[in-house]
Chains A and B, each alone.
Chain A
Amino acid sequence: MTTPATENPPAPAAIAPPVNPASRLAALEEAILPVVVALLVAAIVGDVLILSFGQNPGTVYRLLFEGTWGNAYGFGQVLYKTTTLTFTGLAVAVGLRAGLFNIGAESQLAAGGFAAALVGLILPPGLPALVTLPVYLVAAAIGGGLVGGVPGVLKARFGAHEVITTIMLNFIVLALLNYLTAAHLKVEASLHTEEIHAGGLPRLSSYIAAFHGSAANVVLFIALLAVVLTWWFLFRTRRGFELRATGLQPAAAEYGGVDVRSVWWRAMVLSGALAGIGGLNFVLGYKHYYEDAFATGAGFLGIAVAIVGRNNPIGVLLAAFVFATISQGGLAVNAVVPKQMVDVLQAVVIIAVAASVPEVRRMLRKGDR
């Protein structure tokens, strides 16, 4: 065969189920309930952890909600974090839909932000955002897309496993960006570049005063647009049809006239580009400069977001919101419980979802008949 082995054939006895008129509703329940169970399990583990620190769960959760959804600033911060996580989550989800496990969103995000910053430093200051935004989008997409495309091409051309290559590329790209920033671009006594004056993107607080101080900015709307477009691409276009087919059963996709190899590298470019555009959130929406390691962990958290969001763009958006809330809430309750509790809580969400969502279980059980 010219493609790697396909997934396990299904349960040997292909059984005809009785036709169920309520099957649509059941499918929806099946999609959502396991995640709800996972989140509840995480909440209960959180309760126990909080108790073990000698605190009242009720108080801590109250603080957590006051610090996130309870005031405009906190909510703005949640929206800011949601934005980055949505992009990295979409990136990982698109990869997984094509059957590729992109561990490289971390460096693709950084590369996208870096590329946009470079362009921003070159553009003449004072250009309106309406002119510069498309330029920035393209630059960030190219930056992330290049970093994503390399493992894609290596996979398509030589069969190199994308997990290995994206991990290695994380090290290489992050070290390279670190060097370029530190050795050539940084402002003295800092780890960031000069400020960009060409068409920075407005924060939400310039429209809604209550958001004052929060980093949330109009890149949020780009993220929402990306969710819609990614959903449309995956489920409504021919390329999306072929991408998902490749991810589910490469041998069948090949039989169906799909050029599986080119789907692989295109999917990785798209995945990288999505992560790269996420870099705009910090670089152009928030600080207006590139700072080394500006979003440490957001790329890896994107994997969790994609899994919890069940590789569905809308699910990704919701999952990003959940993880952003936990992250921002962690700061708010930092006074009473240590930060590690938040890390543990995130891990529990991931594990609980992984254990309860059928396709993840199927993925883990591969090879077992």
Chain B
Amino acid sequence: MRKLLLLVGALVVAHVALLFVRVSGAAEAARPDAVNVGIVLDVGGLGDKSFNDGAYRGAQRAEKELGAHIRLIEPGEGADREAGLRLLAAEKMDLVIGVGFIFTDDIAQLAKEYPKTNFAGVDYALATDRAGNPVPPPPNVAALKFKEEEGSFLVGALAALVGNSKKVGFVGGMDVPLIQKFEAGYRAGVLAVCPTCTVVAQYAGVTPEAFRNPGKGKELALNQYQQGVNVIYHASGSTGLGVFEAARQTGKFAIGVDADQYNEAPGRIVTSMVKGIDVAVFDMVKRVQDHKFKGGIYTFGLAQNGVGYVYDEHNRALIPDSTRARLEQLKADIIAGKISVPSTR
């Protein structure tokens, strides 16, 4: 036992000594006039190659271009979401952002307790009144919404143009309005360039599990490819990995969603419909810096660069210049209001 006591003593000494170690350059002071922004990521944290990483990119850009001071929190469990927001609000941040619709209730709650703090929610879920109209969020909350249907419209047109088939495919995750919005825009885009084409649309299920079922995704995709479909657009989370696997196996094509998914199946991903989480985050920080922030619904569509499609050195070879020109024309038309894109089936 005496040995153990000695060990305890030695460890205490070592620990206390380490506490006084100073690393040069640590914890530099923020600029006094900088905007302080706190971001709480969804459970899953950095490295998800999607929402969380997108928000982080936007934050980095704001740090570099606007000199904003950013604090990120990665929650470990459900209850940490509110705790994270509260921690940041209590530190009198100028802006507190929650990434993901799951933050909706927590943001609404805290916005009441901290009426002087600005909040923003990515994909903030708006309640609807009896007539079915969206109820605006609290006055200090910005609801960041994305027009996924517009981006989907463009990739739908692309699918029809490069697909070389009268049939184009769609694989959705869970069959809910949020995902049906993708299908509606996609369908409209297909028909805009190829009125005689048909869209084969299938969903992986009716539970959130449908977003995590690559096996089902592969099964649906193989089936569609067999029917003569050459390009499939997926909006199905990791279920889409199964779609890519089917594309790789059959040598056909697929379109990614949310972020650039080219690397999941190089050469087989024609493009990805990307959501500009970074754009929205940066935009909010800038509004706060310019003292122009106010609560309300912010919609990010093609016009705001809130949605779009990937066109870069990886997939340039897959998209002929003429097709590219056609897509850009469609995009301009949507922005100009000449084409109105439906958001429901």
User: A335 at the A/B interface (Cβ < 8 Å)?
Assistant: yes
Question: Count of A-B contacts with CB under 8 A?
Answer: 137
Contact A183 B207 (CB under 8 A): yes
CB contact under 8 A between A51 and B80, given known A178-B207, A183-B206: no
User: A33 at the A/B interface (Cβ < 8 Å)?
Assistant: yes
Shortest Cβ distance from B7 into A: residue: A37
Shortest Cβ distance from B84 into A: residue: A331
The stretch of B99-107, B156-164, B305-313 in contact with A is: B99-107
User: A114 at the A/B interface (Cβ < 8 Å)?
Assistant: no
The stretch of B11-19, B185-193, B257-265, B322-330 in contact with A is: B11-19
Shortest Cβ distance from B12 into A: residue: A40
User: B25 at the A/B interface (Cβ < 8 Å)?
Assistant: yes
B209 in complex: contacting residue of A36, A178, A291, CB < 8 Å: A178
User: A26 at the A/B interface (Cβ < 8 Å)?
Assistant: yes
Contact A36 B8 (CB under 8 A): yes
Contact A37 B12 (CB under 8 A): no
A33 in complex: contacting residue of B8, B14, B43, B83, CB < 8 Å: B8
User: B82 at the A/B interface (Cβ < 8 Å)?
Assistant: yes
Which chain A residues in 58-74 approach chain B with CB under 8 Å? 58-59, 61, 67, 73
Contact B206 A332 (CB under 8 A): no
Q: DSSP majority for the A interface?
A: helix
User: B72 at the A/B interface (Cβ < 8 Å)?
Assistant: yes
Contact A44 B18 (CB under 8 A): yes
What chain A residues lie within 8 Å of B4 (beta carbons)?
Answer: 29, 33-34, 37
Q: Is the interface on chain A under 10, 10 to 19, 20 to 34, or 35 or more residues?
A: 35 or more
What chain B residues lie within 8 Å of A232 (beta carbons)?
Answer: none
Contact A328 B83 (CB under 8 A): yes
Against A, the Cβ 8 Å flags (1 = close, 0 = not) of B82-102 are: 111011001000000000011
A179 in complex: contacting residue of B5, B87, B207, CB < 8 Å: B207
User: A165 at the A/B interface (Cβ < 8 Å)?
Assistant: no
CA distance A31 to B248 in the complex (A): 58
Which chain B residues in 169-222 approach chain A with CB under 8 Å? 174, 178, 206-209
CA distance A2 to B262 in the complex (A): 59
CB contact under 8 A between A30 and B1, given known A58-B19, A191-B208, A291-B78: yes
CA distance A291 to B208 in the complex (A): 13
Contact A57 B207 (CB under 8 A): no
Contact B8 A282 (CB under 8 A): no
Contact B18 A47 (CB under 8 A): yes
CA distance A81 to B5 in the complex (A): 31
A189 in complex: contacting residue of B74, B76, B104, CB < 8 Å: B104
Contact B15 A44 (CB under 8 A): yes
User: A154 at the A/B interface (Cβ < 8 Å)?
Assistant: no
User: B131 at the A/B interface (Cβ < 8 Å)?
Assistant: no
Contact A190 B104 (CB under 8 A): yes
What chain A residues lie within 8 Å of B101 (beta carbons)?
Answer: 189-190
Contact A58 B75 (CB under 8 A): no
Which chain B residues in 1-47 approach chain A with CB under 8 Å? 1, 4-5, 7-8, 11-12, 14-15, 18-23, 25-27, 43, 45-46
Which chain A residues in 143-167 approach chain B with CB under 8 Å? none
Contact B87 A48 (CB under 8 A): no
User: B316 at the A/B interface (Cβ < 8 Å)?
Assistant: no
Contact B1 A77 (CB under 8 A): no
Which chain B residues in 210-264 approach chain A with CB under 8 Å? none
Contact B21 A295 (CB under 8 A): no
CA distance A148 to B102 in the complex (A): 30
Shortest Cβ distance from A294 into B: residue: B78
What chain B residues lie within 8 Å of A33 (beta carbons)?
Answer: 1, 4-5, 8
User: A327 at the A/B interface (Cβ < 8 Å)?
Assistant: yes
Which chain B residues in 29-73 approach chain A with CB under 8 Å? 43, 45-46, 71-73
User: B336 at the A/B interface (Cβ < 8 Å)?
Assistant: no
What chain A residues lie within 8 Å of B25 (beta carbons)?
Answer: 54
Contact B15 A43 (CB under 8 A): yes
Q: What is the distance, in angstroms, from B61's C-beta to the closest C-beta of chain A?
A: 19
Q: What is the distance, in angstroms, from B297's C-beta to the closest C-beta of chain A?
A: 14
CA distance A167 to B71 in the complex (A): 37
CA distance A327 to B76 in the complex (A): 8
CA distance A67 to B46 in the complex (A): 22
A44 in complex: contacting residue of B14, B46, B73, B75, CB < 8 Å: B14
Contact B19 A296 (CB under 8 A): no
Query: Which of B27, B71, B83, B87 has the largest number of chain A CB atoms within 10 A?
Result: B83
Q: What is the distance, in angstroms, from A330's C-beta to the closest C-beta of chain B?
A: 7
CB contact under 8 A between A191 and B77, given known A36-B8, A44-B15: no
Shortest Cβ distance from B38 into A: residue: A335
What chain A residues lie within 8 Å of B288 (beta carbons)?
Answer: none
Contact B102 A190 (CB under 8 A): yes
Contact B78 A296 (CB under 8 A): yes
What chain B residues lie within 8 Å of A242 (beta carbons)?
Answer: none
CA distance A73 to B71 in the complex (A): 20
CA distance A178 to B206 in the complex (A): 11
Contact B207 A182 (CB under 8 A): yes
User: A55 at the A/B interface (Cβ < 8 Å)?
Assistant: yes
CA distance A56 to B86 in the complex (A): 25
Q: What is the distance, in angstroms, from B175's C-beta to the closest C-beta of chain A?
A: 11
Given A58-B21, A73-B90, list of 15 further CB < 8 A pairs? Answer: A26-B1, A34-B4, A43-B15, A44-B15, A48-B18, A51-B21, A54-B26, A58-B19, A80-B79, A189-B125, A286-B79, A294-B79, A296-B78, A338-B74, A339-B45
Q: Which 6 A-B pairs have the closest CB atoms?
A: A189-B125, A47-B18, A40-B11, A339-B74, A58-B19, A182-B207
CB pairs A–B below 8 angstroms (17 shown):
A26-B1, A40-B8, A44-B15, A51-B21, A55-B23, A56-B21, A67-B87, A175-B209, A178-B209, A189-B178, A286-B79, A295-B77, A295-B78, A331-B73, A331-B76, A331-B80, A332-B87
The chain B residues found within 8 Å of chain A, CB to CB, are 1, 4-5, 7-8, 11-12, 14-15, 18-23, 25-27, 43, 45-46, 71-80, 82-84, 86-87, 90, 101-102, 104-105, 113, 125, 174, 178, 206-209
